[in-house]
Structure 1
Amino acid sequence: MFSIGVCDDRPLCRQLLEEFILLYEKEKGILFDIHQFGSGEELLEELHKLDMILDLLFLDNSMKKLTGLETAKLIQQSDSMSACSIVFVTADDDHDQFMQIQPLQVVGKPVTRECIDAILDKVLAEKA
């Protein structure tokens, strides 16, 4: 099963992203394994504790302790998570700072359903 992580310190942002993913599931007849995380620390802890592998991660950058960028660097150092596609979801206009991670995409907030649909189409086509 295709596993998706949503990491944002704002519950409303996580819920909105998950809702878009659920609508995509319903329309395409696909089931995803969706996990929400409230911080970079929680994400890293759960990945380690549950030996979880995510195929796709929507990652906010502006979080309280670890930023999304710092979290992404730590994720890419993990052998089991090195193949994870990362999409930064940010209100920050400076998208160049994320290029060192080579994200699948950097999207601005607020995200749109069309944007999420296009990302899901792309990663599913690559995994096929």
Structure 2
Amino acid sequence: MIRIAICDDSEYMRKATAKILLEYSIQKDMEYNVKQFETGEELLQVIDDYDLVFLDYQFEDKGKDGMAIAREIRLKNKDLVIIFLTSYTSIVFDSFEIGAYRFLVKPIDERKFYAALDDYIDSLNKEQTLIIKVDGVTHYIKESKIMYVEGNGKKCIIHIIDGTSEIVCNETLSAIEQRLSAKLFNRCHKSFLVNMRYVKAFNHTDLVLENDESIVISRSKFKDFYEAYTDYISKI
């Protein structure tokens, strides 16, 4: 499931973008949810809830412009994919500043819209992404977004970095472990698989994550964890 936001001060443009998005999803069998926002300030309040945003470049007397909003997005979320919607082709140079993925000129050309989404979907498949199905819905989860995975019998709980999101899937922890990068994730306990990127501190019994959660380390696994973490840190 790809979480998409459409942020434009024009109701017409929001609806037009949503319509093309729906047509694309039907043709490409893409699972997604979408929400529309009239101002960038509204979007910023929930920015971590989204993977991709179609962002208006120029808001007419409705808060900050698109570039200002994009800069604030980058302070909160470095990974969110931003596609600018604009009437000004010259913004291509400005878009480099905040790492925009694409920019689409209004009125939106359907072929260019489809090409941008094709490239985005392709990038998800190429980068380290965990793809799981829960209740018939496909979720694409970047490894960098996973803080740790918790085993729960024949199921496991995937904890996402914002600290509020959890995905429960019908796979064992061992099955998920085999599908994640061994260089980034470590099985520090029979019930926990931790992303070493988010380890803040550890001792012989526990490790502390960046959100101050504590995870148990098995005595028998401490040496392996220590060596794996040391190797990870040395290559950053």
Gaps of 5+ in 2: 126-236
Number of the residue aligned with 1:67: 65
List structure 1 runs of 4+ shifted beyond 6 angstroms: none
Matched residue SS, 2:113: helix
| Compared CA separation, residues 13 and 92, structure 1 to 2 (3 A) | same
| C-alpha RMSD of matched pairs (Å) | 1.2
Provide the rounded CA distance (Å) in 1 between the counterparts of 2:83 and 2:28: 21
TM-score by length of 1: 0.89
TM (norm. structure 2) is: 0.50
User: With CA pairs under 8 Å and 6+ residues apart, which has the higher RCO, 1 or 2?
Assistant: 1
Q: Does 1:57 align with 2:53?
A: yes
Q: Quick one: distance in 1 between partners of 2:46 and 2:121?
A: 24
Aligned length: 122
- The whole-number CA distance in structure 1 between the counterparts of 2:117 and 2:89 is 23
Deviations 1:91-114 (A, max 9, x none): 123222222112111221111111
Unaligned 5+ segments in structure 1 are none
Structure 2 residue 160 is the aligned partner of structure 1 residue 126: no
In structure 2, C-alpha distance between the alignment counterparts of 1:46 and 1:2, rounded to whole Å: 15
Corresponding position of 2:101? 104
Instruction: Return the letter of the residue paired with 1:16.
Output: A
Residues in 1 aligned to 2:121 and 2:89: alpha-carbon distance in whole angstroms: 28
Q: Whole-Å Cα distance in 1 between the matches of residues 10 and 103 of structure 2? A: 18
* Contact 2:104/2:113, CA 8 A, preserved across alignment: no
The equivalences for 1:1-128 within 5 A come to 1-47=1-47, 52=49, 54-63=50-59, 64-78=62-76, 81-95=77-91, 96-128=93-125
Rounded Cα–Cα distance in structure 1 between residues aligned with 2:10 and 2:107: 12
Q: Distance in 2 between matches of 1:71 and 1:117?
A: 25
SS in 2 for 1:110: coil
Aligned mates of 1:69, 1:8 — CA distance in 2: 13
* Amino acid corresponding to residue 7 of structure 1 in structure 2: C
Which of the pair is proportionally richer in helix? 1
| Superposed displacement of residue 11, structure 1 | 0.6
Residue identity matched to 1:3: R
